[in-house]
Amino acid sequence: MNTLYHYPLSPYSRKVRLCLAEKKIEVGLVEERYWEQSPEFLRRNPAAKVPVLKMNGRIMSESTAICEYLEDVQPTPPLMPRDAEGRYEMRRLIGWFDDKFYHEVTSKLTGERVYRKVMGRGYPDSANVKAGARAIKFHLDYMAHLLENRRWLAGNDMTLADFAGAAHLSCLDYTSDVDWNRHEVVKDWYAKIKSRPAFRSLLADEVPGFQPAAHYADLDF
């Protein structure tokens, strides 16, 4: 049996969960409070991050490396463009979300509102929350700019870049931090990806002490 060590509101875990589900690779989910750095978990991943995938006896970390590996060993359905330019654009956007978007938005909103509390580090830093709330507007505008010319974020086919983006936005949506009325194209894109069977497990997540937004699991939000 394959196992994914994850944390429900980890965007990196969610990206891998979406990838596994689209490729119909079954995994058991094990919630890992990775910041507690249990010796057993550190043995699996000295980087002390989630997700960690145990598959066919291999233990793998680094979410993007995992997704590219899954694409290599199970190419159906394809989640990457076939041409070099398309793959570049997909990888650029995964980098955009997992580095820039994470540091400017996810870490400042989900990080402050949820992680800080579950990690026992006190109350949200309001300056960070304000900075995150400001930054997400710029990012939603950028996504709209992309989606006005393409059906999906990296081109006309759904790719791992959409999973990276949706992974972050779904965490932010859990705490009502996404203004879906800002751009109809972004809302339409999220509605499309949210209605996929692969998304169901994410919509069922619950973090004790944090109720998801009323519309969080609603496909007609």
Out of 62, 131, 144, 157, the only residue in the binding site for a second copy (CB under 8 A) is: 62
Instruction: Give yes or no for a contact between 115 and 10, defined as CB atoms under 8 angstroms apart.
Output: no
> Nearest approach, Cβ of 194 to a second copy (angstroms)?
26
What binding mask, one character per residue, do residues 68-87 give for a second copy by CB under 8 A, x or -?
xx--xx----------xx-x
Reference 53, options 24, 26, 88; nearest CA is: 26
Q: Quick check: 28 and 20 in contact, CB under 8 A?
A: no
Query: 11-20 in b/e burial notation, b at 16+ Cβ within 10 A?
Result: bbbbbbbbbb
Told to check if 46 binds a second copy by CB under 8 A, we report yes
Q: Which two structure tokens, joined as six digits, stand for 3?
A: 């196992």
Query: How many chain residues are in contact with a second copy, going by CB under 8 A?
Result: 26
Stretch of 23-31, 55-63, 105-113, 179-187 contacting a second copy, by CB under 8 A: 55-63
Which residues of this chain interact with a second copy, rule CB under 8 A?
46-47, 49, 58, 60-62, 64-66, 68-69, 72-73, 84-85, 87-88, 91-92, 94-96, 99-100, 142
